[in-house]
């Protein structure tokens, strides 16, 4: 008897499901449309192939639409499986991190070709209003919202579509080539939700919850599909200072390093073949990676922290 790994069995079910229900020019993209005009919203999961929560939640919700359990009132949803090749193998990526590859033009790698397909999709569908990119983390069970630092009303939008009280705001030069940045060049508002740990059952629930909330916010489905939730009274923000750029042999030298680990100026926190990684100022570690390869663009980030609460938070609403 063949001993099938339950994760790969589940992954092959989801891949087959996506294949069966995909239509249009973009592979692994399942559209659902209403005859009534409304927003076109894109939901993405599996941009990193070892993050199954978003993909499971998308398949589940697509089935709920199919069976009539959930009704689309207006507009259109495109469910997109980011990196199907890596998803099939339960690995972050095949050649390059897809979520750092949207600024590349070469079609010579698996992710290069997929990035081109997705960029074409974003370009050709000029009615897309917003994009939700569902991820999970390798260290800890952190839930956090990730979006780019710019002068728009990003914080307000993030707070409208999520009650997660931890935000990571990054400067695109510290994390170039993300899907949400590619989306923003087409005027599409993008948000990343880190739904918890890759392997936490809770991550699927968080993904499901955020898809529903995103669709409700854009008036695609009724608000009755979700019970109201309390908004947080304070929000912790990390803003990127720099990426942690790894070379061969990279490893963190702090035990139990995680999002929120505090570093003092001059403190060594990692090492690789090029030498020690030292904090340039007092700062915090944000979304460090458990496994780091030489092809990784970053092993996490260093950020400064601020907390918004009370009146300040009221003001942003």
Please state, in angstroms and rounded to a whole number, the distance separating the CA atoms of residues 175 and 181: 10
Strand order, beta sheet including 251-252: 251-252, 268-272, 275-278
Can you give the three-state secondary structure of 112-157, one letter per residue? HHHHHHHHHHHHHCCCEEEEEEEEEECCCCCEEEEEECCCCCHHHH
Q: What residues contact residue 164 under an 8 Å CB cut-off, 6+ apart?
A: 143, 144, 145, 193, 232
Is the Cβ of residue 15 or residue 134 nearer to Zn ion in the bound state?
Answer: 134
State in angstroms the smallest separation of the CB of 48 from Zn ion.
4
Please state, in angstroms and rounded to a whole number, the distance separating the CA atoms of residues 183 and 128: 9
Q: Which residues of 72-109 are buried (b: 16+ CB within 10 A; e: fewer)?
A: beebbbbbbbbbbbbbbebebbbebbbbbbbebeeeeb
Is the Cβ of residue 223 or residue 295 nearer to Zn ion in the bound state?
Answer: 295
Residue sitting closest to Zn ion (CB): 135
State in angstroms the smallest separation of the CB of 135 from Zn ion.
3
DSSP bridge pairs for 263: 283
Please state, in angstroms and rounded to a whole number, the distance separating the CA atoms of residues 19 and 307: 44
State in angstroms the smallest separation of the CB of 6 from Zn ion.
22
State in angstroms the smallest separation of the CB of 138 from Zn ion.
9
Is the Cβ of residue 85 or residue 125 nearer to Zn ion in the bound state?
Answer: 85
Is the Cβ of residue 15 or residue 144 nearer to Zn ion in the bound state?
Answer: 144
Return the structure tokens found at 127: 């009615």
Is the Cβ of residue 51 or residue 111 nearer to Zn ion in the bound state?
Answer: 51
Contacting residues toward Zn ion, per CB under 5 A: 48, 51, 135
Is the Cβ of residue 51 or residue 239 nearer to Zn ion in the bound state?
Answer: 51
Is the Cβ of residue 48 or residue 62 nearer to Zn ion in the bound state?
Answer: 48
Is the Cβ of residue 75 or residue 177 nearer to Zn ion in the bound state?
Answer: 177
Q: Give me the phi and psi of 239, to 5 degrees please.
A: -115, 130
Closest Cα to residue 45, out of 53, 54, 36? Answer: 54
Contact present, 303 and 238 (Cβ < 8 Å) = yes
Closest Cα to residue 205, out of 157, 290, 136, 287? Answer: 136
Please state, in angstroms and rounded to a whole number, the distance separating the CA atoms of residues 170 and 306: 14
State in angstroms the smallest separation of the CB of 133 from Zn ion.
8
State in angstroms the smallest separation of the CB of 296 from Zn ion.
12
CA 66 to chain centre: 25
State in angstroms the smallest separation of the CB of 45 from Zn ion.
10
State in angstroms the smallest separation of the CB of 101 from Zn ion.
13
């Amino acid at each position: 008897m063949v001993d099938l790994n339950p994760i790969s069995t589940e992954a092959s079910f989801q891949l087959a499901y996506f294949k069966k229900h995909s239509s249009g020019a973009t592979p692994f993209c399942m559209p659902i449309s209403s005859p009534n005009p409304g927003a076109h919203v894109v939901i993405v999961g599996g941009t990193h192939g070892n993050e199954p929560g978003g993909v499971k939640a998308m398949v589940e919700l697509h089935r709920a639409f199919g069976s009539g359990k959930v009704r689309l009132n207006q507009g259109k949803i495109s469910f997109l499986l980011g990196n199907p090749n890596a998803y099939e193998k339960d690995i972050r990526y095949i050649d390059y991190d897809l979520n750092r590859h949207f600024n590349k033009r070469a079609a010579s790698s698996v992710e290069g070709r997929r990035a081109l397909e997705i960029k074409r999709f974003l370009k050709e569908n000029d009615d897309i209003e917003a994009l939700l990119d569902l991820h999970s983390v390798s260290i800890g069970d952190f839930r956090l919202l990730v979006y780019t630092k710019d002068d728009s009303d990003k914080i307000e939008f993030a707070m409208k579509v999520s009650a997660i009280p931890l935000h990571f705001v990054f400067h695109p030069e510290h994390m170039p080539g993300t899907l949400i940045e590619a989306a923003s060049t087409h005027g599409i508002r993008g948000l990343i939700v880190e739904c918890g740990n890759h392997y936490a059952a809770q991550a699927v629930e968080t993904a499901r919850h955020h898809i529903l909330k995103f669709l409700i916010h854009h008036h695609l489905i009724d608000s009755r599909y979700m019970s109201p939730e309390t908004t947080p009274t304070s929000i912790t923000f990390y803003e990127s200072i720099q990426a942690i750029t790894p070379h061969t042999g990279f490893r963190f030298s702090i035990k139990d390093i995680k999002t929120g680990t505090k570093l003092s100026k001059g403190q060594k926190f990692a090492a690789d073949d090029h030498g020690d990684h030292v904090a340039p100022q007092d700062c915090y570690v944000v979304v460090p990676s458990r496994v780091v390869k030489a092809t990784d663009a970053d092993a996490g980030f260093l950020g400064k922290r601020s907390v918004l609460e009370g009146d300040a938070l009221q003001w942003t609403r």
